A and B are shown apart, each in its own frame.
Chain A
């Protein structure tokens, strides 16, 4: 990852990319939260994470609009090992076209049981973050390949259909 990309992330490390084994912990955290607090508790966790921990990013998006959204996600995926993602900009939206989800790929390659709701976390987290920046977020696909759309409200996206988010599996 170049220094230029790194500067688009709110929190930076000395390493260019993260350790993929941390996906084990993210997957395990989801399993734990769903088991302990139920699906509603897990969704509440994701939404509060989006509003709290990611607040600096949301402020960047609010101030910088879709350009800031695109810059953030390019930097984000450059730091995720194994990600194959195209970030495509349109006048009223940004699409993240994920050909290889780094998390699903690593969990699958490592023989881990993937929480079946795993892909939904991108929607609940992303929608909460987008909303605070005055945008909307939609997700389609999953289980390793998907498309995230961050859009201005003027784009008039249809409401999220959770049925278009696929379950994840090993």
Chain B
């Protein structure tokens, strides 16, 4: 039987298997069809119906269940919903168990959340550092301007305040007002001078 206890392990293995079976297009289709439209359809329905409040309900529940030690923080403002992930339960499981079949496991989040946000009328600013830390800012599609400055929204809970946030060994990947998992950019923090804790 395939279990839920080590779900993140076989989920990550599956991305690599799909890529070998049908290329990147099949992985993208999997994230959208199987995860967004099927598995997580309750999230899509909730967010489509209730917007930011739906996000708070969905991620408040699911992150508390997956990360009971509360290695995350949610910040709600009138025009933005922000998540700071300090200890991703999913990536953390892989790191602790030495599992890495797929080239960037973290891509799966925007792989299904991106299309979901596109369908529900939101855009994403996001960065992940491949070590279990990331942040997300979700705004109504068409919103102008950039993402928040460090600490402006989440204060001390802003994951970018961590001394180990950036490292040249595992560069940060980012997305700017995006919903496409392939719209990845390399943020400023990757350039020369970034700290290596």
Contacts and interface: CB of A to CB of B under 8 A. Distances in A.
Interface string A75-106: 01001110000000000000000000111000
Given A41-B21, A45-B17, A11 B6 contact: yes
Contact of A18 (B4, B30, B33): B4
B9 A19 contact: no
Interface in A85-136: 101-103, 121-122, 125-126
Given A14-B69, A19-B66, A76-B1, A25 B34 contact: yes
A21 B1 contact: no
A26 B7 contact: yes
Given A49-B10, A49-B17, A18 B3 contact: yes
A24 B39 contact: yes
Interface string B35-75: 10011100000000000000000000010011011000000
A53 B7 contact: no
Interface string A127-147: 000000000000000000000
B169 interface: no
Query: By DSSP majority rule, is chain B's interface helix, strand, loop, or mixed?
Result: helix
Nearest to B11: A25
Nearest to A32: B34
Contacts of B34: 25, 28-29, 31-32
Nearest to A50: B2
Contacts of A12: 96-97
A161 interface: no
Which size bracket describes the interface of B in this complex? 35 or more
Which size bracket describes the interface of A in this complex? 35 or more
Nearest to A23: B4
B2 A19 contact: no
A76 B5 CA distance: 8
Centre residue among B7, B62, B93, B99 by max chain A CB count within 10 A: B7
A9 B3 CA distance: 12
B62 to A, nearest CB: 7
Interface of B: 1-7, 9-11, 13-14, 17, 21-22, 26, 29-30, 33-35, 38-40, 62, 65-66, 68-69, 89, 92-93, 96-97, 99, 101
Given A18-B7, A48-B17, 13 more contacts: A10-B97, A12-B97, A18-B6, A24-B38, A25-B40, A32-B38, A37-B21, A45-B17, A76-B1, A76-B3, A79-B5, A80-B3, A103-B1
Interface of A: 9-15, 17-29, 31-32, 36-37, 41, 45, 48-49, 52-53, 76, 79-81, 101-103, 121-122, 125-126, 148
